Structure 1
Amino acid sequence: MRSPEIIAYEPSYQSQLEAFFREVWQQSRFPFDPEGAHSDLRNIPTQYQVNGGGFWLMCQSDQIVGTVAIRRLAADVAEVKRLNVTADHRGCGFGDRLFQHALAHATTIGYRT
């Protein structure tokens, strides 16, 4: 099996992304609420991919298995958001890879670490 790749979110992934989050939230026994608490996931370009932010998908065999985002809070401060990995892929180091990817982006942009 090929190693998963990390790619930038594009709107063409939206339906697959919502299915991913439905699965992840169901696994954690919390409801996925795209109209309320999770409405940011319906507006990724304007919520995350602006002002030095980003949103990435980890894909394996054309399936989303993880996500991570960073959102700008101040000129040199950002927060990590939406770091999730499906239950079947936890314990494989995927979460760490996603976090390191976001951290590398943040460092390149000039956020403090």
Structure 2
Amino acid sequence: MTIERHQTATRMSKIVVHNNTAYLCGQVTEDRSAGITVQTQTMLKKVDDLLISVGSSAEKILSATIYIKDMALFAEMNAVWDSWIPAGHAPARACVQASMASPELLVEISVIAAID
């Protein structure tokens, strides 16, 4: 059994790969002062970059869990999500309202994806 850990620090790895499956740690925006649209866009760009780094892509996402600070932002976040996820490749997804690790954060995502 092989487990690969990528971009590992003391607390966590950004990606763990096992059995041709990539598990991404929670991803957030770089610009915590931005609104929900920009936070969602930049968060999903980080997901793209991490998936590409291990030979995967948005088309191969199996599951996504989205944590949102306030459900009043749900429609705005979904507008970005809907334009980002490739047509016909929507993963299993959950979205829950949650207290965030930092008060400026509005959205976070955790992803599991297949690898070729």
What's the TM-score once normalised by structure 2's chain length? 0.29
Of Structure 1 and Structure 2, which has the larger fraction of its residues in strand? 2
Of Structure 1 and Structure 2, which has the larger fraction of its residues in helix? 1
What's the TM-score once normalised by structure 1's chain length? 0.30
